A and B are shown apart, each in its own frame.
Chain A
């Protein structure tokens, strides 16, 4: 069974700080996605990484896919209160194609 483990589970930081969230697996994924979910809303897709070693940037967010396509990271520079939310990584199962989700990282950015 393919699993995605995220760390840390919870993160509380001050505005302006940098942070990194990790998504790890022992299995190879053809792609990984990152979602952000705000309270009372559904997850919103931020990015999809496909190629091993790929780096994608979305304003202050930097996403990296591991060379072996078993892990990914999300780095936020100069975090702002608007970044607060639940960050989920997900990847398609190699057997079924269904999307497997990590348990999520809850980020709180204090002003």
Chain B
């Protein structure tokens, strides 16, 4: 089975631009998680979905961040407008029934200039 798929793997953009990150979870998994990883703050949970419904978005840093999951096989994380402090690696993970067993994608390295 294919693992979690994320695109793009790398994104370089200028401050103020809109950025959209994409994720395809493992087929059959019913929970999807978006994380951000930086050297300073480590791995932070931004938002997670259960059965395509956002359950907890308390980790979303600002209104500039939004996430959607229109169906069981696709999710997006959007940053509009982007700022240099948003530079980080963004991971998507999915799990089946057990949130303590998550499978991570390879991540998207975002650089905002």
A residues within 8 Å of B by Cβ?
30-31, 33, 35, 40-45, 48, 88, 90-92, 96-99, 101-104
Task: Name the interface size band of chain B.
Answer: 10 to 19
In the complex, how many residue pairs between chain A and chain B have their CB atoms under 8 Å apart? 47
Contact B45 A98 (CB under 8 A): yes
Chain B residues with CB under 8 Å of A42's CB are 4, 91, 93, 104-107
Q: Please classify the interface of chain B as helix (H, G, I), strand (E, B), loop, or mixed, using the class held by over half of its residues.
A: strand
The A-contacting residues of B in range 74-113, CB under 8 angstroms, are 91, 93, 99-107
Chain B residues with CB under 8 Å of A104's CB are 42-43
Q: Please tell me if B48 contacts chain A, counting CB pairs below 8 Å.
A: yes
Contact A96 B43 (CB under 8 A): no
> In the complex the two chains form, what is the Cα distance from A42 to B4 in whole Å?
10
> In the complex the two chains form, what is the Cα distance from A43 to B104 in whole Å?
6
List, sorted by A's number, 28 A–B pairs whose CB atoms are closer than 8 Å. A33-B101, A41-B106, A42-B4, A42-B91, A42-B93, A42-B105, A43-B43, A43-B91, A43-B104, A45-B102, A45-B103, A48-B101, A90-B100, A92-B99, A92-B100, A96-B56, A98-B45, A98-B48, A98-B99, A99-B33, A99-B45, A99-B99, A99-B100, A99-B102, A101-B42, A101-B43, A102-B42, A104-B43
Chain B residues with CB under 8 Å of A99's CB are 33, 45, 99-100, 102
Chain B residues with CB under 8 Å of A92's CB are 99-100
Contact B43 A98 (CB under 8 A): no
Query: 17 extra interchain contacts, Cβ-Cβ under 8 A, other than A42-B106, A44-B104, A48-B101?
Result: A31-B100, A33-B100, A40-B106, A41-B106, A43-B43, A43-B91, A45-B102, A48-B100, A88-B43, A92-B99, A92-B100, A98-B45, A99-B33, A99-B100, A101-B42, A103-B42, A104-B43
> In the complex the two chains form, what is the Cα distance from A91 to B91 in whole Å?
18
> In the complex the two chains form, what is the Cα distance from A42 to B25 in whole Å?
14
> In the complex the two chains form, what is the Cα distance from A96 to B43 in whole Å?
17
